[in-house]
Structure 1
Amino acid sequence: MTEGGCVLADGKKVSVVIPAYREADSIQTVLVKLRELDVVDEIIVVDDGSDDATAEMARQAPADVRVLQHPYNIGNGAAIKTGIRAATGDIIILMDSDGQHPPSEVPGLLEHIGRYDMVVGAREMSSQATAMRRVANMIFNTYASYIVGKPVPDLTSGFRVLKAPIARNFVYLLPNGFSYPTTLTIAFFRAGYAVKYHTFRAEKRTETSESKVRPLRDGMRFLLTLTRLAVLFVPLKIFLPVSILMTTTGFGYVVSQLVLDRRFSGFGGLVTTIGIFIFMLGLISEQIALLRLVNSER
């Protein structure tokens, strides 16, 4: 390992995983800048079934690169999983191939990995693509902060450094699509691992690169995914508020009917019962979530 790498990562082997899809025009620039840093031991590019020359351009880059290819487009998360499984390092860096994640920020992220289990590159709000995207990310970050009980300044950033053994424990939970950063964030916080956010300014995409995410199409889907992850990892965060709302509403209606009309409301009793049932369901789900986390660390 290089001298710079030893200092930044305490002598650990560092692997970089870069998912790529139709990034033939930008991938070489990213790889050259990354190799110039001289702080990594292994670079893995996972071509997710691109129909352009992405894989060929990665192989031709003046850097020592392993190129893995999916036979067809499976998804960004699937490429990340392939890369994590193939990586041989003790520390894994995840970053995009479109130039938005500056390789010059890698040393800054690596400086924190000795004390933390995952270091996330949190984009400055002003450097995020559009006003609509910034507003959406603020909503997602606030919702995620409620779910994990900790501040989450950038939920969707794919620029992060992880300790490899922990990443491999959670790899089976990662989806094939773009929500893998969200899954990693919630899983790490829920399991009690230390997470650090390192602020950086995201670069603009290259002129020929375009976002694969469509805000209007994917925004509601992402909220549903975030809720599903909350139910998966911290179910009481979802079940308890719903239970309290239904129980208090139903009980309040029962009391009002008894006071005003001197009769018992069957509807109010039903709503109260459903609220109590949802609370019990949340307790059971919480135990299942804890067992899942225990099994993932075996």
Structure 2
Amino acid sequence: MKLSIVLPAKNEAAAVGTTVTRIRALWPDVEILVVNDGSGDQTAAVAEAAGARVLHHPYSKGNGAAIKTGARAASGNVLVFMDADGQHDPADIPRLLQKLEHGHDMVVGARQKGSQASLGRGLANGLYNRLATWMTGNSVEDLTSGFRAARAEKFREFLYLLPNGFSYPTTSTMAFFRAGYSVAYVPIHAAKRIGKSHVRLLRDGTRFLLIIFKIGTLFSPLKIFAPVALLMFALASGWYGWTWWHQGRFTNMSALLYTGSVMVFLMGLISEQITALMYKDSSSDRR
């Protein structure tokens, strides 16, 4: 396999040089692409001096946009994505590639206990993993890990779906599952990052909560809409039974809940069809 390693980097001058050097020590001739996402420091110069090919964004477009830029420019048939901040150990890359050679299409480095940046983020990731496992019917060990290896032609199929922000790992994982591709996990330990995190709790908290809904809409919207519709139908029936027993009448609230349950269910059906269209074989469009 021909390997390309993509590192999105924004103001990572303190760590990117060491990361690139450690990769070069393992693979002297591998293609290393550092995507400089509008950094205001010496990230680009340090990465280039360490032996990486640097791609530039004229301004910060986001982590996901940097991933897309690197994936488009990479020449390898296998892409490895990892952070430039020192969290991911390049020595773990062979373990991901070994799993990939066993027939998988994407292999994700699953962070073990003690690797989460904070208790709150660890709890949130645990919730995402359980929800994604229920949605897909497959064990999802780390939905939001940015350390992963994937077959290039299959990863590029979903570039148009990837957001420009921080939730590209979620989107790519769910897209692979939806397309019927094989996803595997390798346990890793993520070290404490060098430098300051670009994630802000207040700014990005709501954005991360939206990941929960994105999980559903990317895989099977009906699995989200149907339980909500069923709950509304049950509430409508319960309220109708109570009012009929005590007042002998059918109330507007019951009618509203019944109508809402039908509308939510129909929205789920429509969303399911739209999702199916999103994943149609792109190769047929190029003929």
Q: Paired residue for 1:252, among 208, 233, 238?
A: 238
Q: Paired residue for 1:106, among 85, 93, 101?
A: 93
The 1:144/1:297 distance shift into structure 2, 3 A limit, reads farther
The 1:177/1:31 distance shift into structure 2, 3 A limit, reads same
Aligned residues of 1:251 and 1:269 also touching (Cα < 8 A) = no
Alignment-derived partner of residue 4 in structure 1 = none
Residue ranges of structure 2 left out of the alignment (5+ in a row): none
- Matched AA of 2:152: A
What is the CA–CA distance in structure 2 between the aligned matches of 1:135 and 1:162, rounded to whole Å? 27
Alignment-derived partner of residue 76 in structure 1 = 63
Q: Does 1:146 align with 2:103?
A: no
Deviation of 1:216 after TM superposition, in Å, equals: 4.2
Residue ranges of structure 1 left out of the alignment (5+ in a row): 1-11
The alignment-based identity, stated in percent, is 49
Aligned residues of 1:15 and 1:44 also touching (Cα < 8 A) = yes
Aligned residues of 2:175 and 2:218 also touching (Cα < 8 A) = no
Q: TM (normalized to structure 1)?
A: 0.90
Deviation of 1:108 after TM superposition, in Å, equals: 0.5
Deviation of 1:38 after TM superposition, in Å, equals: 2.0
Alignment-derived partner of residue 13 in structure 1 = 2
What is the CA–CA distance in structure 2 between the aligned matches of 1:250 and 1:295, rounded to whole Å? 41
Deviation of 1:248 after TM superposition, in Å, equals: 1.2
Aligned residues of 1:169 and 1:297 also touching (Cα < 8 A) = no
Q: Paired residue for 1:133, among 112, 118, 121?
A: 121
Deviation of 1:220 after TM superposition, in Å, equals: 2.9
- Matched AA of 1:188: F
- Matched AA of 1:17: V
Deviation of 1:119 after TM superposition, in Å, equals: 0.2
- The superposition leaves residues 44-94 of structure 1 with CA deviations (integer Å, 9 ceiling, x where unpaired) of 110001011111111111x3x221000011111110000001011111000
The 1:83/1:283 distance shift into structure 2, 3 A limit, reads same
Alignment-derived partner of residue 37 in structure 1 = 26
Alignment-derived partner of residue 35 in structure 2 = 46
The 1:40/1:149 distance shift into structure 2, 3 A limit, reads farther
**Aligned partner of residue 110 in structure 2, secondary structure:** strand
Q: Which moved more, 1:132-141 or 1:179-188?
A: 132-141
What is the CA–CA distance in structure 2 between the aligned matches of 1:255 and 1:133, rounded to whole Å? 43
Deviation of 1:15 after TM superposition, in Å, equals: 0.7
Q: Which moved more, 1:41-50 or 1:122-131?
A: 122-131
Moved over 3 A (4+): 295-298
Q: Does 1:186 align with 2:166?
A: no
The 1:195/1:121 distance shift into structure 2, 3 A limit, reads same
Aligned residues of 1:13 and 1:40 also touching (Cα < 8 A) = no
CA RMSD of aligned residues (A): 1.6
- Matched AA of 1:106: I
Deviation of 1:221 after TM superposition, in Å, equals: 2.0
What is the CA–CA distance in structure 2 between the aligned matches of 1:238 and 1:223, rounded to whole Å? 15
**Aligned partner of residue 111 in structure 1, secondary structure:** helix
Deviation of 1:203 after TM superposition, in Å, equals: 1.6
Q: Which moved more, 1:130-139 or 1:268-277?
A: 130-139
What is the CA–CA distance in structure 2 between the aligned matches of 1:19 and 1:258, rounded to whole Å? 62
How many residue pairs were aligned? 283
**Aligned partner of residue 67 in structure 1, secondary structure:** strand
Q: Does 1:241 align with 2:230?
A: no
Alignment-derived partner of residue 154 in structure 2 = 166
Alignment-derived partner of residue 44 in structure 2 = 55
Q: Paired residue for 1:201, among 177, 181, 189?
A: 189
Deviation of 1:297 after TM superposition, in Å, equals: 5.6
- Matched AA of 1:36: A
What is the CA–CA distance in structure 2 between the aligned matches of 1:180 and 1:168, rounded to whole Å? 13
Deviation of 1:295 after TM superposition, in Å, equals: 4.3
What is the CA–CA distance in structure 1 between the aligned matches of 2:28 and 2:236, rounded to whole Å? 61
The 1:223/1:90 distance shift into structure 2, 3 A limit, reads same
Q: Which moved more, 1:230-239 or 1:253-262?
A: 253-262
- Matched AA of 1:198: V
**Aligned partner of residue 51 in structure 1, secondary structure:** coil
Q: Does 1:66 align with 2:56?
A: no
- The superposition leaves residues 152-208 of structure 1 with CA deviations (integer Å, 9 ceiling, x where unpaired) of 2211110000010111100111111111011111111111111101001112222xx
